[in-house]
Structure 1
Amino acid sequence: MYHIKIVSIFRENVPPAQFERIMRPDIAAQWVMSVPDNTVRSLFSRYDQFQPTTRSSPYQSGRDLRKLVAQEFWYGNLVAIDESSRPWSSTTELYYINQKGELTPTYAPRSLSFPLGSIIVRYGAMVRVYRTLPPPTVRPAQVVKSKAAIGPELATPGKDTLKTAAQLKAMTKAERWQARKDLISKGNASIYPDAQIAAKRLADNNIAVEKAKLAGNVYKTVNPLEATPGVPEGWSDISNDAEALNKLGLKSSMLYDNPASPDFLARVYKPDPAVFGSDMNPTVVFRGSREPEFASVGDNLSSLWSKGELAPVKNGADWSNNFAQGMGKNSTYYQSAVTIGDKLAKSGQSVDIAGHSLGGGLASAASMASGKPGWTFNAAGLHSSTVEKYGGSVLGKTDDIQAYRVEGELLTKVQEVNVWEDLKTMKGLPVPTLLKEGVSALSPNAAGIPHDLAGGTGSALERHGIDQAINCIEQQKDEDIAIIGSRL
């Protein structure tokens, strides 16, 4: 259970080690509304600071102290610090302390007025006041990894006390799928808010990681007339199965533009009911942009001599289509995606859509044209006119698209205006920052509900890869499994 202390964070001295236990404002507000009103006062470390901090009088007739406190949690004037011995969790805690001793947010609250950065500054002040730097936060993903080596304590498949990701890894794919569903059900039924939140995210990520794996597999296609190699467990490539495609209103020839060496490419995958039961739908997956390959000096000279022009850039069509669509110009790739979306809409079948990078933009267009659910990963933005430009009807909503993005990845940074973050990237130089914001203002954002993924590594370009999105989702799954397991 929680052991909450309510603190006026900017008026009281708080030991630096307690900053990692500051609860998310939504969790804190939910919790305070669940306790009796006459007990709230006893939770304050300094109740005398309530009125000067909030400029609200708790003594006014008819006022519910719980509502006042919940409101101030959202403003950040008050924070709830959990002093219980339960493990740290990103589903309940707002910050963690990294390896350098820096206070780092786990997520950004919905409230634009929440002083996320000011609390970090306050933490620095408290480090100087107390003259101590706290140790790094022990995060659940680290605990899960340590449990993997404990062989004798692994649960047998189907055991009711399943708690760790390591135990899941000892099972077959079908057993893991069912075990996670059981764990999600228990989390949803839990009395603990952190377990409920972890269960919801685990349910979402349980689906999303499968779509991400498919979005990675489509890059392995060599010959569109043959099955793609290395298809993820639990799926099969039906891109050349005429009967299966016909049910979806598709033909194999619609999935590529050139059978010998396709530029535009999509694949269709079918889930195995022996693994997923009826939980998964067939999924249309679009390939993203590939690295451009420039011709050698010799090839360019030969092309200039014979054709009067430089040799073409291999995979250049990916980039020209990406740029053209973002600027509202014609793009054959997006025209094909909208056509596929229109066919899916008319089929009346349950089908999902997914893609990474450029493939995420194409998946967004197909989702909007079909009204079918979409999952995208580090996706290219979708211009508002794209679907209707190619004769499609906007049947879907952006809320039907789950847009996963690794924090700090290149494409999202380029597409989205983020002045403060870009100032840091540009080392405070105003001219480069303004130029970058100008480019971002002209670029459409990725469509859908954004899901930011912490845990990416390397440069912004390296974070763009689909493998990083998969790894980040798997980290969240391990963390949520540990949280729910700790509440059983």
Structure 2
Amino acid sequence: MYHIKIVSIFRENVPPARFERIMRPDIAAQWINSVPDNTVRSLFSRYDRFQPTTRSSPYQTGRDLRKLVAQEFWYGNLVAIDESSRPWSSTTELYYINQKGELTPTHAPRSLSFPLGYIIVRYGEMVRAYGTLPPPTVRPAQVVKSKAAAGPELATPGKDMKQTAAQLKAMTKAERWQARKDLISKGNASIYPDAQIAAKRLADNNIAVEKAKLAENVYKTVNPLETTPGVPEGWKDISNDADALNKLGLKSKMLYDDPASPNFLARVYEPDQAVFGNDMNPTVVFRGSREPEFASVGDNLSSLWNKGELAPVKNGADWSNNFAQGVGKNSTYYQSAVGIGDTLAKSGQNVDIAGHSLGGGLASATAMASGKPAWTFNAAGLNSGTVEKYGGTVLGKTDDIQAYRVEGELLTKVQEVNVWEDLKTMKGLPGPTLLKEGVSALSPNAAGIPHDLPGGTGSALERHGIGQAINCIEQQKDEDIAIIGGRL
């Protein structure tokens, strides 16, 4: 009935290939509490090797063994190994095996006591003991996209619908949206914890990826008085539709600071009910920071001669506003964002907010001033006093901000204190590490509930781009579709 084995990872020999199927401790703990207490012993590979960290006796009469085992999952002394035939997924698995045969974490458990690195060392011991290096992990997305996949096709919306991922993409957007909703419903009703967890993440990502695509589109705005080109399917740019904006209490001129060449910029998008039904709200989206463009030597010399100063840096206002807000100084961008938030709060309408990078920081300020939900991507941090600084009232909660960040991206690394990760980045040098931690300690973190996105590629700067966030979310959607489909 149960295809999971509980193992004392440091006391038993485990084949190296099974390390990629070690479940995340939070999922393992949730799962163990869902099984009858009298079946727990049968799930151990060697119950006699079980020695609780607390020195409590697992044989004590009346003890809830499930709670004891769940606790040991968090300590890492016990691990749950998935022995089912379903595809590997970062939703449930803690590690994967890379192309070099190295055991690599998919993410770090939110427990300082979990021996993430020691399990990697243990993996190395087992590789030497068994004398074999396992093949790299095959991710579900790779199987779905393969032209010559071995074995039966993976049904994504469910066995009854017989749809592959390729067929799902061939549907209209409205059909794809409904198919995923149906799959989410089946996952929520599943008896399997991994399917339930996958369904929740798929539901969240179904919304988040739409907000991310809008956050990408806002960068394409050339003239704020015209419709932004390339608006994502299912959405309409209503930034210059006076009647539509009036329903939200907004006016077009609130969305930019200069009609000819705006620095501060926001757009408003309206969802197509024929695609999303009533699942989506109008969304205010803020543009993030653009790459600074420095004047040529000739322009600088001319400016020095005529004005006595260097030529301005194009897009420099994005960076100066971002920095000023972070340290509690005046920022016209954030003043405008708080003003929009105050207006939205008074409108009484259902409206969402989104943004990437600097736009994510602006979206956070608007969310806190309006009480409306927000989705941010690789967002700039929000100073705790920003909303009230500009006359706003803090109506929102950080729990209403979903903060997505690609693992290893630049802005999050700069803003957040992470001693162990920074030591690795700084090659173990204490001076640079302490300097970086000092900068991070002075920088506000991105507001909201963090959602770490594995799967980014390239440098920390390259991972900061909104396109990487979209790709990582889409990858998670593929994984979750595979998990739920495999449990139907």
- TM-score between both structures, scaled by the size of structure 1: 0.96
**Secondary structure, in 3 states, of the residue corresponding to 2:58?**
coil
Cα distance in 2, alignment partners of residues 196 and 138 from structure 1: 22
Matches within 5 A, 1:70-149: 70-146=70-146
Cα distance in 2, alignment partners of residues 304 and 185 from structure 1: 65
Cα distance in 2, alignment partners of residues 72 and 162 from structure 1: 40
Is contact 1:163-1:485 (8 Å) kept? no
Please say which of residues 360-369 and 167-176 is displaced more in the overlay.
167-176
Is contact 1:20-1:96 (8 Å) kept? yes
Cα distance in 2, alignment partners of residues 152 and 42 from structure 1: 31
Q: CA RMSD in A?
A: 2.2
Cα distance in 2, alignment partners of residues 158 and 95 from structure 1: 27
Please say which of residues 334-343 and 99-108 is displaced more in the overlay.
99-108
Is contact 1:144-1:479 (8 Å) kept? no
Matches within 5 A, 1:246-265: 246-265=246-265
Please say which of residues 351-360 and 188-197 is displaced more in the overlay.
188-197
Cα distance in 1, alignment partners of residues 139 and 405 from structure 2: 21
Please say which of residues 38-47 and 476-485 is displaced more in the overlay.
38-47
Deviations 1:139-185 (A, max 9, x none): 11111112699999899999942553222101011111111111111
Over 3 Å counting, the alpha-carbon distance change for 1:52 and 1:155 in structure 2 is: closer
Please say which of residues 50-59 and 170-179 is displaced more in the overlay.
50-59
Over 3 Å counting, the alpha-carbon distance change for 1:197 and 1:330 in structure 2 is: same
Is contact 1:23-1:92 (8 Å) kept? yes
Deviations 1:280-334 (A, max 9, x none): 0000000000000000000000001110110000000000000000111000000
Please say which of residues 171-180 and 332-341 is displaced more in the overlay.
171-180
Cα distance in 2, alignment partners of residues 402 and 335 from structure 1: 22
Shift of 1:376: 0.3
Please say which of residues 395-404 and 133-142 is displaced more in the overlay.
133-142
Is contact 1:285-1:363 (8 Å) kept? yes
Residue 433 (structure 1) aligns with? 433
Residue 172 (structure 1) aligns with? 172
Over 3 Å counting, the alpha-carbon distance change for 1:263 and 1:198 in structure 2 is: same
Cα distance in 1, alignment partners of residues 154 and 413 from structure 2: 42
Is contact 2:263-2:318 (8 Å) kept? yes
Deviations 1:105-162 (A, max 9, x none): 2232233322122211211222222222111111111111126999998999999425
Over 3 Å counting, the alpha-carbon distance change for 1:52 and 1:319 in structure 2 is: closer
Is contact 2:155-2:486 (8 Å) kept? no
Percent identity (aligned): 92
Is contact 2:369-2:393 (8 Å) kept? yes
Cα distance in 1, alignment partners of residues 156 and 21 from structure 2: 34
Please say which of residues 398-407 and 44-53 is displaced more in the overlay.
44-53
| Runs of 4+ residues over 4 Å off in structure 1 | 147-160
Over 3 Å counting, the alpha-carbon distance change for 1:170 and 1:143 in structure 2 is: same
Cα distance in 1, alignment partners of residues 128 and 271 from structure 2: 56
Over 3 Å counting, the alpha-carbon distance change for 1:111 and 1:162 in structure 2 is: farther
Deviations 1:236-273 (A, max 9, x none): 11001111111111110000000000000000000011
Is contact 2:91-2:479 (8 Å) kept? no
Deviations 1:9-51 (A, max 9, x none): 1122212111111112222223323333333222222222213
Cα distance in 1, alignment partners of residues 284 and 321 from structure 2: 20
Cα distance in 1, alignment partners of residues 162 and 332 from structure 2: 49
Residue 237 (structure 1) aligns with? 237
Shift of 1:463: 0.5
- TM-score between both structures, scaled by the size of structure 2: 0.96
**Secondary structure, in 3 states, of the residue corresponding to 1:404?**
strand
Shift of 1:93: 1.6
**Secondary structure, in 3 states, of the residue corresponding to 1:62?**
coil
Deviations 1:364-395 (A, max 9, x none): 00000000000000000000000000000000
Which sections of structure 2, spanning at least 5 residues, go unmatched?
A: none
Cα distance in 2, alignment partners of residues 263 and 112 from structure 1: 42
Cα distance in 1, alignment partners of residues 150 and 209 from structure 2: 26
Deviations 1:64-86 (A, max 9, x none): 22221121112111111122322
Is contact 2:353-2:366 (8 Å) kept? yes
Is contact 1:94-1:105 (8 Å) kept? yes
Over 3 Å counting, the alpha-carbon distance change for 1:53 and 1:382 in structure 2 is: closer
Indicate whether 1:268 and 2:286 are aligned: no
Over 3 Å counting, the alpha-carbon distance change for 1:206 and 1:373 in structure 2 is: same
Shift of 1:457: 0.7
Is contact 1:154-1:167 (8 Å) kept? no
Is contact 1:368-1:397 (8 Å) kept? yes
Please say which of residues 140-149 and 408-417 is displaced more in the overlay.
140-149
Shift of 1:6: 1.6
Shift of 1:224: 0.5
**Secondary structure, in 3 states, of the residue corresponding to 1:341?**
helix
Residue 383 (structure 1) aligns with? 383
Over 3 Å counting, the alpha-carbon distance change for 1:400 and 1:162 in structure 2 is: farther
Over 3 Å counting, the alpha-carbon distance change for 1:483 and 1:426 in structure 2 is: same
Is contact 1:184-1:202 (8 Å) kept? yes
Cα distance in 2, alignment partners of residues 229 and 417 from structure 1: 39
Is contact 1:157-1:175 (8 Å) kept? no
Over 3 Å counting, the alpha-carbon distance change for 1:162 and 1:168 in structure 2 is: same
Over 3 Å counting, the alpha-carbon distance change for 1:152 and 1:20 in structure 2 is: closer
Please say which of residues 125-134 and 361-370 is displaced more in the overlay.
125-134
Please say which of residues 13-22 and 155-164 is displaced more in the overlay.
155-164
Please say which of residues 255-264 and 89-98 is displaced more in the overlay.
89-98
